[in-house]
Structure 1
Amino acid sequence: MGDLRVRVLLTTVGSRGDVQPLLALAMRLRATGHEVRMCVPPDFQDWIGGLGIPVTPIGPVMRQALASSPPASLPAEQLRLMAEAQVAAQFDRIPPVADGCDVVVSTTPGLTAVHSVAEMLGIGYVFAVYSPNQLPSPHHAPPPVPLLGRELAPAGADHRELWARDAENVNERFGPPLNRHRAAVGLPALDDVRGHVFTDRPWLAADPTLGPWPEPADQQVFQPGAWILPDERPLSPELEAFLDDGEPPIYFGFSSMVRMQDDLGPVLVETARALGRRAVISRGWADVALPDDGSDCIAVGEVNLQALFRRVAAVVHPSSAGTTALVAMAGAPHVVVPQMYDQHYWAERVEQLGIGTPHLSDTVTAESLTSALDLALRPEVVARARSVATAVRRDGVQLSAERLTSDVRTLTASGPVASPAGSPGRS
């Protein structure tokens, strides 16, 4: 089957950090002669369509969604209505796009209907995540998710109990609408929604040095490495001139984060100046602005981060999976400012690896950032970051594309499956 043309649908909902790795897989598949389609949030439709990949929008406008109230603050009834709408939209949008495909890949736990659609169409299905803590294991807790008006687990509960409660929450929230739609197309009801979404053979698209699967003997989880989109774009002449005009600067970037404090720009500039450093500041979705026109700072928009990170002294970022991998590949030390979901996991890993330091306060101040950067810029941390860079895999996309196209016959979607490897139900 590896010599034949495979038709693949790639689906995700989330920020650029969720979309760009999937686009990396899409570009690799297309370069090796396979047909690719994508379903992504509307924010990224023009970008991906401009690359010649057929794209269908799905999910909310993420820039607006991330700026609104976090789901955890919403009442239970509203969460149920949102789940109803999400499942209905997936059954409406995905079948026409998936029709004619050999396999569909989903990287979002919230796309709970994708496996059911694949099952309905009789095509393959792969579920992949970018962070180990998104898969059940007794070695870590699940990422925080919106709850239906109750506590996730009692205080002091172990990881198995947390994952068991997580499964209950997914069933309660998504089970009723999902099973109604399954019944309408002749599919049996599910009693383990999360297990069906994750499958018993999930993929972990994370670097095994940066984010190792904690149960290495478990062969059910396929971990090829991170999906990195190659970037050959040159830096702008203005940025090149800035970089050439002095010592390596500090890069501050909060990418798709929207709910950031209003005074962030002045705080970042003050931090760099307190350290006697220059700064490159990403505007991002928060539209961070410089407080003055000093020659020691420059604001940038969309830029080749792979090229830029090789020329900076340190990187301050929210610690998404993709950015953490890019910084590590460049050998730059990190200061990580986690905000949500899997970002606290990556902040912990950066600290454990000795390649940077976490900033765990909810409020970013010049004093707190200066303190964190003082630690990250120590010679031993810089040396460790450079050492770890040599161990980071660069072939994760290649291995995943090869596995997907060679094994597509074995990926035909089926009914409910066992819980993922390492879940609370396993010993």
Structure 2
Amino acid sequence: MKRVVLSSYGSRGDVEPVVALALRLRELGAEVRLCVPPDFAELVGAAGLPMVALAWPIRALATGRVPGKTSLPDIAAELTALADAAVIAAAGTEEADGGTAAGGVRDLAVVATGSLPAVAGARAAAERLGAAWAFAALSTSYLPSPHQAPAPWPGQEVPAEGADNRTLWDLNSAHLQALFGPTVNAHRASVGLPAVDGVRDHVHGDHPLLATDPVLGPWRETSDLDVTQTGAWLRTDERPLPADLVTFLAAGSAPVYVGFGSMPLRGADPAEVSRAVVAAARARGRRVLLGSGWAGLAPVDKGDDVLVVGDVNHQALFRRVAAAVHHGGAGTTVTAAGAGVPQVLVPQVADQPYWAGRVAGLGIGVAHDGPVPTAESLTAALTTALSPTVRERAAALAPSIRTDGAAVAAKLVLDAVGPA
């Protein structure tokens, strides 16, 4: 039987795609195990998938609540080692002494995404096991291309103007090597693997997978990198909406949904943001659904035009709202696009500015200027998003969003393992 280990250290937006891929792999007869943060044990368990907990809870790390974990080099070094160990454990081998498994582990593939140090650890494990390897990018902006600039990294100095995209990608590679190269290579030495000169390109490998929708996040072919775009890795969410939410939706006109998922808003007071988004929705004559999430959105008064919801089925909900205001995670963006709902993206970090730009460029929503919405800024954004033109464009684009990305990727991964 073919076996696949899927590794992803990140927020829910990094974990949901590998769950979708795992389910498709299982349908094709593969044995699958996941290595993801312990925060998502319930999510993975509900899907009936086995997992190995990877490192610390991601929410605790993101909010600085992991004792003794304040230095980026220390975090990166330990995360690389923990990811390597988790993948080895998930593969079910006794490869505890650091040597390469003799002859390789038959019929095994390792697929990884998420935090770069964790991906580097997963690749080290794949090398030690002699397994097939694939890196998966959840955004076009993470893969080097002369057609686009890289996603910005904190602390990286880039030319103010004039640099072409290849130069920017070279600077990106140098920055990531300076950040993570020493710790990755120290770990590789400790397990008997050779050093790598460019950790970014090393983890990408020869044939990375791009798990984005070709319309929403297209890849333009380039001789620089052999990328296979599969479509976004989605799974059908069959959870019913909670009874109180169904009642709220039926009690009036379509509300505006506002939620930022597993993303705390940078430097923002949750109460102030809650007041701002409710005021903006009311200014447009709309009721509002607040997705509590890591941003901690909460009721601002006793008005019956506001309901707070937790983790709910976005695939079902977004078809019943007037607009979706969110952080711009890849999964939320493609789900909203597939539902045909206008969007307002309030990007915070990583690839979120890329998705905001794509949504605005396609005319299916608005890119908010700045990471913290105010009543005024969000009212202006909603004015545009709720216009007939944007509503019509969002509805027209929805049927073109592919839903078979995980199935396409699953076949590619199993083909890479070799014949059964």
Same fold (TM over 0.5): yes
Give 2:354's aligned residue: 345
Give 1:94's aligned residue: 87
Are the aligned partners of 2:144 and 2:225 in contact in 1 as well (CA < 8 Å)?
Answer: no
Give 2:117's aligned residue: 110
Are 2:134 and 1:126 aligned? yes
Whole-Å separation in 2 of the counterparts to 1:333 and 1:378? 9
Instruction: State the Cα distance separating 1:323 from its structure 2 match.
Output: 0.5
Are 2:407 and 1:398 aligned? yes
Give 2:323's aligned residue: 314
Are the aligned partners of 1:272 and 1:279 in contact in 2 as well (CA < 8 Å)?
Answer: yes
Give 2:42's aligned residue: 46
Q: Secondary structure of 1:294's partner?
A: coil
Instruction: State the Cα distance separating 1:267 from its structure 2 match.
Output: 1.5
List gaps (5 residues or longer) in structure 1: 411-427
Q: 1:112-150 CA distances to partner (integer Å, 9 max, x unpaired)?
A: 121121111101111001110011112222222244xxx
Q: Which amino acid aligns with 1:24?
A: A
Are the aligned partners of 1:171 and 1:194 in contact in 2 as well (CA < 8 Å)?
Answer: yes
Are 2:13 and 1:13 aligned? no
Are the aligned partners of 2:110 and 2:133 in contact in 1 as well (CA < 8 Å)?
Answer: yes
Q: 1:127-180 CA distances to partner (integer Å, 9 max, x unpaired)?
A: 001110011112222222244xxx433332332222112211222232233333
Which of 224, 246, 250 matches 1:240?
246
Whole-Å separation in 2 of the counterparts to 1:62 and 1:116? 22
Q: TM-score, normalised by structure 1?
A: 0.88
Are the aligned partners of 1:209 and 1:391 in contact in 2 as well (CA < 8 Å)?
Answer: yes
Give 1:249's aligned residue: 255
Give 1:214's aligned residue: 220
Deviates more, 1:50-59 or 1:288-297: 50-59
CA-atom RMSD, angstroms? 2.1
**Percent same amino acid among aligned pairs?**
46
Whole-Å separation in 1 of the counterparts to 2:46 and 2:323? 32
Question: Alignment length, in residue pairs?
Answer: 397
Whole-Å separation in 2 of the counterparts to 1:92 and 1:329? 37
Q: Secondary structure of 2:320's partner?
A: coil
Q: 1:241-265 CA distances to partner (integer Å, 9 max, x unpaired)?
A: 1111211111111111123432122
Are the aligned partners of 1:26 and 1:36 in contact in 2 as well (CA < 8 Å)?
Answer: yes
Q: 1:367-415 CA distances to partner (integer Å, 9 max, x unpaired)?
A: 11011000011111100001110111111111111221123229xxxxx
Which of 386, 399, 418 matches 1:409?
418
Are 2:193 and 1:187 aligned? yes
Deviates more, 1:58-67 or 1:160-169: 58-67
Q: Which amino acid aligns with 2:152?
A: P
Instruction: State the Cα distance separating 1:217 from its structure 2 match.
Output: 8.0
Which of 71, 75, 78 matches 1:82?
75
Q: 1:71-99 CA distances to partner (integer Å, 9 max, x unpaired)?
A: xxx99xx3323322222323333322234
Give 1:140's aligned residue: 148
Give 1:326's aligned residue: 335
- Judged with a 3 Å threshold, the aligned counterparts in structure 2 of structure 1 residues 342 and 219 are, in CA distance, closer, same or farther, namely closer
Instruction: State the Cα distance separating 1:218 from its structure 2 match.
Output: 7.8
Whole-Å separation in 1 of the counterparts to 2:242 and 2:342? 24
Are the aligned partners of 1:333 and 1:385 in contact in 2 as well (CA < 8 Å)?
Answer: yes
Which of 146, 159, 168 matches 2:165?
159
Are the aligned partners of 2:5 and 2:110 in contact in 1 as well (CA < 8 Å)?
Answer: yes
Q: Which amino acid aligns with 1:110?
A: P
Instruction: State the Cα distance separating 1:219 from its structure 2 match.
Output: 8.0
Which of 318, 342, 354 matches 2:363?
354
Give 1:425's aligned residue: none
Deviates more, 1:130-139 or 1:82-91: 82-91
Instruction: State the Cα distance separating 1:310 from its structure 2 match.
Output: 0.5
Instruction: State the Cα distance separating 1:319 from its structure 2 match.
Output: 0.8
Q: TM-score, normalised by structure 2?
A: 0.89
Higher RCO (CA-CA < 8 Å; seq separation 6+): 1
Q: Which amino acid aligns with 1:246?
A: G
Which of 279, 288, 301 matches 1:279?
288
